[in-house]
Structures are given as C-alpha cells and as structure tokens.
Amino acid sequence: MTAYRTGSRFLLAALGSSLLAACANIGEAPKAAATAPPETTLADSFEPLGQAGLDRLQQNTMQKVCSEYEGKPVPDDLAKQIIAEAAAGVRYPADGNYFGDWKNGEKIAKTGTGLQSNDDPALPNGGNCYACHQMAAEELAYGTLGLSLAQYGKLRGQSEPILQYTWTRLWNAHAYNPCSHMPRFGDAGILSEPQLKDVMAYLFDPASPVNLPAPAPAP
Ligand code: HEC
C-alpha cells in the first residue's frame, strides 16, 4: 500500500503542470515512509486474504523481544521469562502415550503446505521438517537451518526424559532456546496432538526410515 500510494502521488504530480511539483512530490514520499512506525508500515503493506488475517501481525511478548534483539544476546531476565512461559504452556499427551503412526509422521514431515492464504483450511497442516532438518538418510532434499535428525531415536533411546524433551521441543522450542527459529507446532496450533504423536513415532520408531542406516554409496 505504501508503494502504491507513492506511485499514485507520482502519477498525479506528473499529470500536473510543472515538473517542479513532480520533483517535490517524489522527494516527500520517502520522508513520510521513514517516519512511519514499523507496525504501520507493515499493516499498510498487507491485506487479509483467506485464512491469513492481519491478526498475524500482532506480536506476542516473545516475538517482540526476539525482533528487538535479533542477532544480539537477549538479556537474561527476558530470556528466562520467555523460557518459563513457553515451558508452562506445553500440553503433554493426555493418555501419556507419545507415539502415533510413523508413516503418517513421515508425510507430515515432508508436507510444506498449510496456513497460507492459498491453502485449503479444511486440510491438515504439514510440519515441513525437511525444510530445516535432515531426517531419513534416503531423502536427499533437506534444509540445514536446523541440525540433522538422522538416526534420532537410535542415538537417543526412548527414556521418559528424552521423550518429554522431544515433545516439548515440538510443542514450543522456545522452552529451550528463547529465540528459536523452529515453528511452535503445538503452541501455535500448527499440528494437532495426534499429528505430533505421528511425528514423534517418525523420529523414534526403530522401523522408521529416520533410524535406518544410510544406504551404501553407489559403486
Ligand atoms: C524453520 C526451521 C525449522 C523447521 C521447519 C523445523 N525445525 Fe526443528 N529445529 C530447528 C532449529 C534451528 C533447531 C535447533 C534448536 C533451536 O534453535 O531451537 C531445531 C531443533 C529441533 C530438535 C532438537 C534436536 C536435538 O538434537 O536436540 C528436534 C527434535 C526438531 N527440531 C524436530 C523438528 C521436527 C520433527 C520438525 C517438523 C515437525 C521440525 N523440527 C521443523 C529449525 C526447524
């Protein structure tokens, strides 16, 4: 919208009689944009579309702090507050069972759709884990913003603390790292409890491709 307004001002000025007027108008626009608060510029730049409403621009405390300290250390008291709030909000499986179906977990890990304006809100969201993590050795396409999760269950076992740690990470990674870049799958309602259980099974089940050895290199 800001760019559009600048453009239309320019158009009006260009249609006017003097070139000087056009120059004055072009000169004014960036000054106005530079003094507008960032929230106004953001709100002016987006329009609600489908399920992507402008409420998504409202930052919670964690997001405000992490935006303010992007690339800098977060002060201790704020970091502790974010971690405590994230940890307090985690909901563990009601039936005490962490595991669902790893095959469905694999689909969730490989699915990158959901929550965008052009996605069908009636369909379940994906977890898009491969965008940031290596997981099964057989899958060649993955991002590296997150660490490799290959052999995750095999390397860590299935003790209660490990299961709880992993569930908490999936629910809200800010319980461990105040300004984590990992999506808050449980906390933000991206994945449902059964979906989170499926992803847990994908990470831990000995039969899951995540825990199978890497295929031998081609001769
Ligand atoms: C946008 C990138 C991104 C996506 C998408 C993402 N993660 Fe992460 N994940 C990270 C980062 C970065 C870390 C490192 C720790 C941190 O900063 O929180 C991490 C850490 C983890 C850890 C902790 C690993 C350890 O060794 O302790 C697990 C488990 C994990 N992610 C699982 C998943 C799963 C499962 C999914 C999909 C449902 C997923 N992640 C999606 C970025 C991502």
Asked whether residue 129 is assigned to any structural domain, the reply reads yes
Could you tell me if 128 and 182 lie in one domain? yes
Could you tell me if 121 and 203 lie in one domain? yes
Split into its structural domains, the chain has a count of 2
pLDDT value, residue 30: 53
Asked whether residue 179 is assigned to any structural domain, the reply reads yes
Q: Which of 169, 192, 196, 210, when mutated, tests ligand 1's pocket best, judged by the most ligand atoms within 8 Å of its CB?
A: 169
Asked whether residue 216 is assigned to any structural domain, the reply reads no
pLDDT value, residue 41: 84
Query: Among the atoms of ligand 1, which is closest to the Cα of residue 173?
Result: 18
CATH number of the CATH domain containing 184: 1.10.760.10
Could you tell me if 161 and 201 lie in one domain? yes
* Residue of minimum CA distance from atom 14 in ligand 1: 146
* Residue of minimum CA distance from atom 43 in ligand 1: 182
Asked whether 128 lines ligand 1 (CB < 6 A), one says: yes
User: Is residue 95 predicted with pLDDT exceeding 50?
Assistant: yes
The Å distance, Cα 130 to ligand 1 centre, comes to 10
Of 113-122, 177-186, 208-217, the poorest mean pLDDT is in 208-217
Could you tell me if 162 and 204 lie in one domain? yes
Asked whether residue 186 is assigned to any structural domain, the reply reads yes
The Å distance, Cα 61 to ligand 1 centre, comes to 21
Could you tell me if 36 and 98 lie in one domain? no
Q: Which residues of 157-177 are buried (b: 16+ CB within 10 A; e: fewer)?
A: eeeeeebeebbbbbbbbbbee
Could you tell me if 102 and 26 lie in one domain? no
User: Is residue 176 predicted with pLDDT exceeding 80?
Assistant: yes
Between CA 121 and CA 50 the distance in angstroms is 9
Asked whether residue 204 is assigned to any structural domain, the reply reads yes
Q: What is the mean pLDDT of the chain?
A: 87
Could you tell me if 81 and 163 lie in one domain? yes
Could you tell me if 79 and 172 lie in one domain? yes
Could you tell me if 39 and 88 lie in one domain? no
Residue 159: both structure tokens together: 């003790």
Residue 51: both structure tokens together: 């399920």
Could you tell me if 15 and 82 lie in one domain? no
Between CA 200 and CA 186 the distance in angstroms is 13
Asked whether residue 96 is assigned to any structural domain, the reply reads yes
Asked whether residue 66 is assigned to any structural domain, the reply reads no
* Residue of minimum CA distance from atom 32 in ligand 1: 170
Asked whether 83 lines ligand 1 (CB < 6 A), one says: no
pLDDT in tens, 5-61: 333 333 333 333 333 334 444 455 555 556 787 778 887 888 999 999 999 999 999
pLDDT in tens, 58-80: 999 999 999 999 999 999 999 99
Asked if residue 204 lies in contact with residue 129, where contact means CB atoms within 8 angstroms, the answer is: no
Could you tell me if 24 and 78 lie in one domain? no
* Residue of minimum CA distance from atom 34 in ligand 1: 129
Could you tell me if 149 and 201 lie in one domain? yes
Asked whether residue 65 is assigned to any structural domain, the reply reads no
List the domain range (segments joined by +) for residue 97: 73-211
Q: What pTM was computed for the model?
A: 0.84
pLDDT in tens, 194-206: 999 999 999 999 9
